[in-house]
Amino acid sequence: MPPAPVPAQPDPRIAKAKNQAVRAAAQTVGRRMHEQHETEITLDDACDAADKLTEHGFKAHDQAEKLSRQAQKLHGAWLNLAQRCADDNNLIGDLFTAAALRFAESMELVDRMAQEMSVSSLQAAEAAETAGNEINDAYRPYNVATADAGLSTPSAPIHNEA
């Protein structure tokens, strides 16, 4: 059985030259970006946030649709119950009738509000999805070019115009 290959030791001269180059670049060109340009959010963070917002918007839309259906169902069941109470049990007094009408109107209001919420949450979800796609489409090429160039921070397009 042949002996296991011994890993080559990096040439200390090359490691020293790399360290010197890094120090020289940091002293001359590689100064830190001015703090006014620093941010704590990355493109991926922004896209993830837009995705979450989209997801929550669609979920709110689905829940609003369900709420609307339940309010309609409850409204119909309540009217049937009120009618049966009036027919079978002679509950026709002013107090019961007013309460029954108020409850039925409340369910109609819940239904209308849920339908409005369904529409607005769907619009919000679509807007968030569009914004996320536009952010990604606009800034992803800069991030890819920055990484390909070995840079840590992209420069603004205005700096690259002649």
pLDDT tens-digit readout, 53-102:
999 999 999 999 999 999 999 999 999 999 999 999 988 899 999 999 99
Q: Are 58 and 125 in contact (CB under 8 A)?
A: yes
Q: Are 54 and 121 in contact (CB under 8 A)?
A: no
| pLDDT digits 0-9 by tens, 95-133 | 999 999 999 999 999 999 999 999 999 999 999 999 999
Kindly state whether residue 54 falls inside one of the protein's structural domains. yes
Kindly state whether residue 129 falls inside one of the protein's structural domains. yes
Q: Which pLDDT score is estimated for 139? A: 87
Q: What pLDDT band is residue 145 in, cutting at 50, 70 and 90? A: confident
Q: In the 8-state DSSP scheme, what is residue 90?
A: -
What single letter denotes the amino acid at residue 37? H
Domain ranges, residue 79? 42-145
Mean pLDDT of the 127-147 span: 90
Q: Which residues are CB-contacts of 129 (< 8 A; sequence separation ≥ 6)?
A: 50, 54
3-state secondary structure of 136: helix
Count of domains forming the chain: 1
Q: Which pLDDT score is estimated for 63? A: 98
User: What phi and psi values does residue 33 have, to the nearest 5 degrees?
Assistant: -65, 145
Q: How far apart are CA 137 and CA 157, in angstroms?
A: 15
Kindly state whether residue 33 falls inside one of the protein's structural domains. no
